Structure formats: C-alpha cells, structure tokens
Amino acid sequence: MQEQPRGPDRPGPLGHDQPGPAEGGTARGPAPSASANFQFPPGFLWGAATSAHQVEGENFHNDWWAWEQAGRVATPSGTAADHWNRYRSDFDLARSIGHNAHRFSIEWSRIEPEEGRWSDEALDHYRDVLVALHERGMEPVVTLFHYTLPQWLAEQGGWENPAIEKLMERYVLHVLEALAPLARWWITLNEPVVQVFKGWLIGQWPPGKVRAWTPALRVLRHMLRAHVRAYHAIHSKRPDAMVSIAKHALALSPDDPTSWLDRWSVAVRGHLFNHLFLEALHTGVLRVPGLFWENLPIRRTLDFIGVNYYTRDFVRNTGYSLPGLVGELAQRDHRQQRGKLNDLGWEVYPEGLAQFLREFSRYKLPILITENGIPTRNDNDRFVFLFMHLWQVARAIADGVNCVGYLHWSLLDNFEWAEGFRPRFGLYRVDFDRPDRPREPRRSAAIYRRIVRANAIEPEVTAEVGLAL
C-alpha cells in the first residue's frame, strides 16, 4: 500500500481527531496541500444503502407491517418512499452522484408471502432491480434479510423457532436459483445483534420482549446457524460469491474512565455487541463470558466483513450478574467528552469507524462499510459527517486496512423503524407530505459526488468542509 500523508493529529473544534481547513498551516498542524490528497484504492466501491421495508412501501405481509398497525411506531411505513415503483429513477439519482455500487434488500415476505407459496412477480421485480443496477454500472450488494420476517413465519415463533434455519436456507436457495448470476456480493443478515437487543431485551421492535435473556440467546444461535446455511446455499449457486453479515459496530467508552467496573462493562458489552457474532462465525466458538462456551459447526463462513457504523455510547456498570456487567447506557451529561449530537441524540464520533476498521482487520478479510450515516435535518451536519468519516476511512486505508468500499446510509430519506419518518438520513430529501414523494438532492450529495469522482479527498473539499465547521 502506498504511503499516504497523514493529516494533523490534534483534536479539532468538535473535540475530534479531524482534519483542519486546507488553507494555511494552523496550530493543529500543516494544512493538507494539493499533494496531500487522501486517495482511495482503485476499484473502491462507492454507493449508498437502503432496505426494502424502509423505502419500498406497502410491505403488507411482514411482521413490521403488523407491528405498525398495532400502533407500535411513530408513523406507519405506508407507501414509504415508493421505491418499489421508482427504483429506476432512484438509481439514476445514485448514478448522478457517481455511485458504482448500491446496497438494497430483498423482502422475504414478497418472495414467499405464504409458507411455501413463491411469488414469481416479486422475483421478477428484483431481477429487474438488479438489471437496472448493472445497466447503470453499479455493483449490487444484496441483503437477504433486513429485520423483516414474513408474517406467517413470525406467527410460528419467528427467530425463536429452530425451523427458521431451514426455512431461511430454502428462501435463500429460491432467490439464488434465480438471481445468482446477477449479484456477487451478498449479506445474509442485517445487524443480528441489534435485532436481538431491540426485539428481546428492550422490546422496542417485534416481537417486543423485554429482558428475555434466554430466548435472546436462542435467537442468536438460530441466526448464526441460519447464516451458515445461507452462506453455503449462496456458494452452491455462485461459487465466487462474497458473503457476509452487516455487523453493527457501536463504539463504547466507560461512563467514568477511572472506574475499573465501568471499563469491565465496556469490555463485556463490547464483546457481546461488537465481537461475539463475527467471532463465532470465524472461529466456530460461541462464547458468552461467565455463561457458556459452545462449539458450533460454523467456522469461516465470512468472505468479507460488512460494517455498519453510526455512533458511540457511554456505559455504566450496574452489578456482577450478566445484565449488570453489560451495564446501562450512561445518562450523565458527557458534553465534555462528546462531539455533536444528531437528531436522534447519537454522538458524531468518526474515530470509532477507524477503530473498528482496525479491529476487524484481525479477520484478514476485506472490509466493506455497508452503512454509515446521520439522521439530521441540517445538511451542513451531514456533509461534515460524511467528510469526517471518509477522512477516517482514508487514514485507515493509508495505514494498511483492506477496506474495499463505503455505502452511505442512505440514498433517500426513509422509514426509520420505531421512529417513523422523523429522522432524515437521505442524500436526497423526500417530501413525504406529497403523494408523488418528490426527491431533491442535498448539498451533501454534491460533496459526496466530488469525493467519489476523484476517488480521493481533495484539498478543495477539505477547505470547503473546514469553512463549514
């Protein structure tokens, strides 16, 4: 890897390790010059990510739709961004900002709306989606399961029912039978640990269970096994496939850095939340400290590491049992340590992304950033966020991390699960008040386009972002 110049290392105005403005050297170090571009590797995948239920609209047959009808979300998904009908023009938008890759998900409940009944229409639709991406020169990254279960399967116990392992394998085989030639990059599960956490520990998502530790662990094992079956199913139809999960990586810091108990909780929570799933798929050992150790027949079922990264949490220890060790999220005001907060109250913490790129390098597999984004109505914050995270990616690559692409969350404003449509994540604004759901580019889309086109962060972009800080 070619040695790249390093940016200034001292904290910037947001308290982060971030680049300074391009013009003139400052106390923070020399300004990047024309020769100090941060280059991305040739063939780097640039794009955005979406998921079916969040953009398509009218996914009547899944458990989220039922959850929404039961009044469990801020606003139901309804027609969402109507991407089901507008994917071609949406892909034109993605292409217009230079994207050469795009992540989307296939909705199981459309493919198999009733148990064992397959919809050719849905399969044809996703075939057209893939063709539309290829026509525009975009590499598809296809998620097979992004949180939503067919309602018939949810009614049979969903992830708690061991039958799901084979049912998922059957679904994956059915999809791959038809679509394998059109996609090389596959994600089996999106953020399994987040789903377990939200669905079985805090009850915010279906099936709405709270502190159900034993079922949660069972679900985790079913997910691991389902991934393994899906992994082999994909490879049986497409031997050169690149398969992974999209792993949510959450940066963690102790509430009180001087407390060894808080630091212990960071380690336990970090293992359970950030490492356990990948580690189990890589080594075949499912390890829950102090509880159990199980060998699973699942070694080396990852071809790359998919990373979703958003923010950092602070953790406070609350005892010695597993829940206590996992700790609680600290409510204390961390303004001293924290950077800016976004519209959902998450800290903007770009260093965390580089931290995970380095940590996950230990698997010696390519790393694809499968999601990274910010809920905000202030687009100034979005393009600063985008720039700062890409700057961290560029530095990690310069240090030898094998990161092969970056997919921003998201192309469009969309349905953000329990939060409804309030959080705005899109490079394109969607007007949900109008039935035709018009799209409008945000300035961050233009900044992203310049980085993508140059395959580098050029000093001019740095200067522009510096002015916005």
**Smallest separation, CB 371 to ligand FCB (Å):** 6
Instruction: Give the DSSP H/E element, type plus range, for residue 453.
Output: helix 443-454
- Name the H helices within 332-429: 351-360, 379-398
Asked if 194 is part of the footprint of ligand FCB (rule: CB under 6 A), the reply reads yes
Q: Which of residues 77-116 bind ligand FCB (CB under 6 A)?
A: none
DSSP at 418: G
The yes or no reply on residue 169 touching ligand FCB (CB under 6 A) is: no
Rounded CA separation 47/373 (Å): 12
Q: Which among 159-167, 186-194, 289-297, 427-435 is the span making contact with ligand FCB, rule CB under 6 A? A: 186-194
Complex with ligand FCB: residue 246 or 398, whichever CB lies closer: 246
Q: Is the dihedral of CA 328, 333, 334, 338 positive or negative?
A: positive
Site string for ligand FCB, 46-65 (x = CB under 6 A): -----x--x-----------
Residue 30 DSSP one-character state? P
In this structure, how many other beta carbons lie within 10 angstroms of the beta carbon of residue 355? 17
Instruction: Candidates 62, 190, 195, 402: give the one binding ligand FCB (CB under 6 A).
Output: 190
Contacts with ligand FCB in 395-414 (CB under 6 A)?
409
Q: Give the 3-state secondary structure of residue 317.
A: coil
d(C-alpha 6, C-alpha 27), whole Å: 15
Strands 285-288 and 292-295: antiparallel
Residue 248 within binding range of ligand FCB, rule CB under 6 A: yes
Neighbours of 365 (CB within 10 A): 19
Q: Of 368, 393, 310, 309, which Cα lies nearest the Cα of 187? A: 368
Decide if residue 349 touches ligand FCB (CB under 6 A). no
Is the Cβ of residue 36 or residue 368 nearer to ligand FCB in the bound state?
Answer: 368
For ligand FCB, the closer of residues 152 and 417 by Cβ is: 417
CB of 343 to ligand FCB, least distance (A): 11
- Residue with smaller CB distance to ligand FCB, 14 or 194: 194
Residue 376 interacting with ligand FCB (CB under 6 A): no
For the chain, the C-alpha Rg in angstroms (whole number) is 21
Stretch that binds ligand FCB, among 33-41, 90-98, 188-196, 223-231 (CB under 6 A): 188-196
Under rule CB under 6 A, residue 416 binds ligand FCB = yes
Cis peptide before 410 (omega within 30 of 0): yes
Q: What is the largest CA-CA distance in the chain?
A: 66
b/e map 151-178, b = 16+ CB within 10 Å: bbbbeeebbbbeebbebbbebbbbbbeb
Residues that contact ligand FCB, how many (by CB under 6 A): 12
Binding mask 281-320 for ligand FCB (x = CB under 6 A): ---------------------------x------------
Locate 135 and state its tokens.
Answer: 């026509």
250 vs 394 by CB, closer to ligand FCB? 250
CB of 418 to ligand FCB, least distance (A): 10
| Residues 418-437 as x/- pattern, contact with ligand FCB by CB under 6 A | -------x------------
Which CA distances in Å does 329 have to 297, 323, 343, 356? 34, 12, 18, 20
Q: How far apart are CA 52 and CA 89, in angstroms?
A: 16
Is 50 or 361 the residue whose CB approaches ligand FCB more closely? 50
253 forms part of the interface with ligand FCB (CB under 6 A): no
- The correct pick among 139, 313, 371, 413 for binding ligand FCB (CB under 6 A) is 371
For ligand FCB, the binding residues (CB under 6 A) are 51, 54, 190-191, 194, 248, 308, 371, 409, 416-417, 425
